[in-house]
Chains A and B, each alone.
Chain A
Amino acid sequence: MSKDELNIKDNTSLFKEERYVQQRENKKQFEAPCSEQETAEALAYSKSAEYMEKNFNRQNVVINPHKACQPLGSVMAALGFEKTLPFVHGSQGCNAYFRSHLSRHFKEPTPSVSTSMTEDAAVFGGMNNLIDGLENSVALYKPEMVAICTTCMAEVIGDDLNSFIGNARIKGVISEEYPVAYCNTPSFVGSHITGYDAMIKGILSYLYTRSGIESKPGSGAESGEKLNVMLGFEPYTGNFAELRKILAAFDTKYTILGDHSGNYDSPATGEYEYYYGGTKLEDVPQAANALGTLSLQKYTLKKTQEYISGTWNQQISALSTPLGIKGTDKLLEAISELTGLPIPASLTEERGRVVDALMDSHPYLHGKRVALVGDPDLLIGLIGFCLETGMEPVHIVCSNGDVDYNELKFKDEAEALLAASPYGSEATVHVGKDLWHMRSLLLNDTVDLAIGSSHLKFAAKDADVPLIRVGFPIFDRHHMHRYPIIGYQGTLNLLSLIVNTILQQLDDNNSGFNFELVR
């Protein structure tokens, strides 16, 4: 059978056929009795400054949220450790959402189980569910560690994980030594990044405490370990690879604390194995003796950073996602400072190449007005990148920016960064706002490009602005997460994504005199 005979129309082209169009027209009679004129007026109104003000005064309803909940982050964190099974204590729906959410982004399976709490658990507490769940999942999925997080339900009824796990051991469901890490992650506080932080801290402190090791910072150097690295809630598996490449160039020994790239970028060998890669459990207590820790998402990893500098007494270098030339420079300097190693010439050369690429493209980027949506650390990186290319960040929305973190404030840092550049003079930073706010911003004061996750596509389409997909989640494009966006190489990837979108737009909009071959 020839290829053409097999041709199947997808639903976009299929339903453009006349008969379907007709069918749809016929449905209008059921719709809310609103004339086309009224609809047009409402649309125009939604673009007005008056509506924007109303929208920004909105207090009590979130419209099109751009954050997920804490336990989703915990599941990702748990998958960063070798043969570790994420275990969600709550009713079963949450876990199903986490699995599909993460799988839709990474296009990989997500092994994670739930205690499936039901009404009786709501009344009597979820202890039996937790104990049965531990027994079943350990038998079924044979993990080497279970990492439990709570959901809002377990938090509201006040389940005490520590004592439940203890009871599971007493009952003999798991042995005394069997490792079970845990953390509390109520969904009504923070967001996925808070939950990521809680679980990483939960796992580090659990494995460290039970090992009985007394941390001696720097003594790891003798055993060959020098540096701890944390990437945080990292939606790009490519970023892990890029970071490894950089660390290899330094020729330093390191431990990545929380490496889910194995789980989310495993080869198709013909056999699915549940667990791929991840930080080795025995490496965690050793990490307490490292020279220092490099954290690449300082807003995400707040609690973990506190733990490491406090309990492990370690030097911490806390950065935001190292994007762009300056962002990457900071990364290299931090590695060099923590390890005492010089910055390798190969990286300096790579830097030069990427600077060259940025120069090649700068005429197309200069003055482009940009809207940005994302998690705090990603946004800091993106703002820096935009400013150094001459792009002008205009609207910045961070749903899960820190409203209540005291010392370290995303909004302040973002604003200082913007204030330091003439290209940042027009920008406003909106913390705790959602994508419906962003829509108002886009419609009211238009930009050339929007940068953010797939969720932004609705607002971007309404405002007729091209969307560059960066961050989490990216559901509607393939393989974006396999390409790094950090480091010099990542900067180059981001650059080509952006500049080629702009060039494509030029071509799409020009069929006349300046439809050119050479750009």
Chain B
Amino acid sequence: MKYSILSEGDEEPMDPVRKNEFDSEACGSIAPKAKPCPRPKPGEAAGGCSFDGAQITLLPIMDAAHLVHGPIACAGNSWESRGTLSSGPSLSQYGFATDLTDSDIIFGGEKKLKDSIDYIAERFAPPAIFVYSTCVTALIGEDMDAVCRAAAERIGIPVIPVNSPGFVGSKNLGNRLAGDALLQYVIGTGEPEPMSPLGVNLIGEYNIAGEMWDIEKLMNSAGITVTSRITGDARYKEITYAHRAKVNMVVCSRALLGLAKEMESRYSIPYFEGSFYGAKETTYSLRQMAFLMNDREMERRVDRLTEREEARLSQDLRPYRKLLKGKRAVLYTGGVKSWSVISALKELGVQVVGVGTNKSTEDDVRRIADRVGDDTEYIPEGGASRIIKTVRERKADIMIAGGRNMYVAMKEQIPFIDINQERHKAYAGYEGLLRLAKELTYSLANPIWKLAASPAPWDKEAPPYDR
């Protein structure tokens, strides 16, 4: 097998995926133990809470209503602020909240919750309502489960409690708790149309900037169908029959691994962890799907497709690789993206000289280590100043991180690419890698950096950072 994209650079081709690979811990009987999510440290500018994490995981179920049970804080500050795209319904864009006030805190908000659910069911007729607990409702001991159960009976649609108040921990933990809610209340409650071909569940793909659409297109052209999207651009119904899929792919979300594991033991669906960032990872993922589907013909189709796509990509990438070769980047992003994006960058010839690990598990860190050189700095914590320090010390050309760090990068006049939930470009798959290459070139080549780095003509002082 020839991997054209890799033969150009100084990369080692990746071994074809075969049985022995599959038998390793990713899908085998000796499943890796889930590591506890790292505890937040007081006094730092930490990331989101579990509520946030749970909501992020479930909001892409576009036709469902998502009701936040708590004071205005959690909903008022967060509704409609993520770039997860929908191809149709937009109910999940609505900010529903019970908006508890002080008297509700004293006398309880269960009545309000009940009325809210009824109102939403009557006015918006959603296929399901997700109800999120928050710090306050958990603290005052609201029996959300009971209210939801009674409501579901009364109104005849699923009303799903998501017990993930902010204080239980990190965003990752919230993702996981959302997965638990799906397992407990959604998956296995429905059946697909009798004739629909079954295939792969995409777990932990949220269709940020439409990435899911690229992935699905790719899968379809190899003849692989998506059974359930969990949850990018999902409809409630498709998740109810996720247990009928033949394979689970856990895309870039460490925290939903538990969901895949549980589905393996309950429904004997094999799973693997994969990514669509970078050509290598994309090819690997597609091959792994076909392999686990146990369909020789499909495997052959995947081989043909990936070969063709890689060859074309390699052609298209040529001019960019020339420009990007040897460029140095600092990558600061959540969990799994920390290693999967490294692969993508490496294929473009960009060297990752610093990488954030604050939201990574030990496994993630091991994967990072597999992909970077010895002189890459790990940034475990410390926020913006630590990232900047790394950029300076390692003489990085570009910073790749999320929105909250973007404006710090701008202050420091560092070229920047947004890789997290607010990005507006899709970077998954082969086309995505090409887009990433273009975007990197764009960012690096913009004339503003030269302008920014040169002081006013009458200012004799040198700019602080010599690029």
Contacts and interface: CB of A to CB of B under 8 A. Distances in A.
B54 to A, nearest CB: 10
B67 interface: yes
Interface in A96-140: 96-101, 103-104, 107-119, 121-122, 129-130, 132-138, 140
Interface string A425-466: 000000000001000000000000000000100100000000
Interface stretch (A20-28, A175-183, A366-374, A387-395): A20-28
A135 B41 CA distance: 11
A72 B77 contact: yes
A502 interface: no
A191 to B, nearest CB: 7
B209 interface: yes
Given A93-B74, A114-B46, A61 B235 contact: no
B444 to A, nearest CB: 11
B101 interface: yes
A272 interface: yes
Interface stretch (A263-271, A285-293, A484-492): A263-271
A92 B49 contact: yes
Nearest to B435: A8
Contact of B77 (A19, A27, A69, A111): A69
Interface stretch (A149-157, A200-208, A316-324): A149-157
Interface of B: 39-52, 63, 67, 70-81, 85, 87-89, 93-102, 104-105, 111-113, 115-116, 119-120, 123, 125-127, 134-136, 139-140, 165-171, 193, 209-210, 213, 216-217, 220, 233-235, 237-238, 319-320, 323, 382-385, 388, 403-405, 407-408, 410-413, 424-426, 435, 438-439, 441-442, 445, 452-453, 463-465
B73 A32 contact: no
Contact of B80 (A67, A187, A455): A455
Contacts, number: 312
A71, A96, A140 — most chain B CB neighbours (10 Å): A96
Interface stretch (A10-18, A76-84, A213-221, A411-419): A10-18
A357 B234 CA distance: 52
Given A23-B87, A152-B135, A6 B81 contact: no
Contacts of B442: 6, 8
A61 B96 contact: yes
B93 to A, nearest CB: 7
Contacts of B119: 58, 60-61
A64 interface: yes
Nearest to A120: B167
Given A60-B116, A156-B105, A97 B95 contact: no
Contacts of A114: 40, 42-46
A122 B166 CA distance: 11
B213 A15 contact: yes
A10 B424 contact: yes
A23 B413 contact: no
A274 B464 CA distance: 16
Contacts of B171: 93
Contacts of B126: 32
B404 A100 contact: yes
A1 interface: yes
30 contacts: A1-B323, A8-B435, A10-B424, A15-B210, A23-B217, A23-B220, A32-B127, A61-B99, A62-B99, A68-B73, A69-B76, A92-B46, A92-B48, A94-B77, A97-B52, A109-B407, A116-B44, A117-B167, A132-B43, A133-B42, A133-B43, A137-B44, A140-B382, A152-B134, A156-B136, A186-B102, A191-B72, A270-B413, A270-B453, A272-B388
Given A114-B45, A134-B43, A153 B166 contact: yes
A291 B237 CA distance: 67
A95 interface: yes
Contacts of A30: 234-235, 237-238
Contact of A59 (B42, B100, B115, B408): B115
A31 interface: yes
Contacts of B165: 91
Nearest to A455: B80
Given A65-B72, A133-B42, A153-B139, A93 B52 contact: yes
A114 B193 CA distance: 49
B412 A270 contact: yes
A31 B411 contact: no
Contacts of A152: 70-71, 73, 134-136
A90 interface: yes
A28 B171 CA distance: 32
A42, A62, A114 — most chain B CB neighbours (10 Å): A62
A248 interface: no
B233 A27 contact: yes
Nearest to B89: A31
Given A122-B139, A188-B105, A61 B115 contact: yes
A96 B358 CA distance: 15
A1 B73 contact: no
A121 B167 contact: yes
Nearest to A189: B102
A188 B109 CA distance: 12
A364 interface: no
B40 A187 contact: no
Contacts of A104: 81, 403
Contact of B42 (A115, A122, A151): A115
A307 interface: no
A268 B452 contact: yes
A270 B467 CA distance: 11
Given A109-B408, A109-B411, A186-B102, A62 B97 contact: yes
B51 A24 contact: no
B216 A23 contact: yes
A458 B359 CA distance: 34
Given A15-B213, A65-B95, A107-B407, 5 more contacts: A31-B63, A62-B75, A64-B94, A104-B81, A187-B71
Contacts of A273: 411
A272 B167 CA distance: 31
B403 A266 contact: no
Contacts of B319: 1, 5
A118 B45 contact: no
Given A8-B425, A109-B407, A153 B97 contact: no
Contacts of B95: 62-65
A62 B96 contact: yes
Contacts of A138: 43
A475 interface: yes
Contacts of B111: 60
B411 A272 contact: yes
Nearest to B135: A153
Contacts of B80: 64, 455, 458
B45 A98 contact: no
A266 B52 contact: no
Nearest to A38: B125
Given A32-B127, A93-B49, A19 B413 contact: no
Given A63-B94, A64-B94, A69-B77, A269 B411 contact: yes
Nearest to B53: A93
B42 A136 contact: yes
A99, A132, A266, A270 — most chain B CB neighbours (10 Å): A270
A113 B235 contact: no
A31 B98 CA distance: 26
B372 to A, nearest CB: 26
A256 B413 CA distance: 30
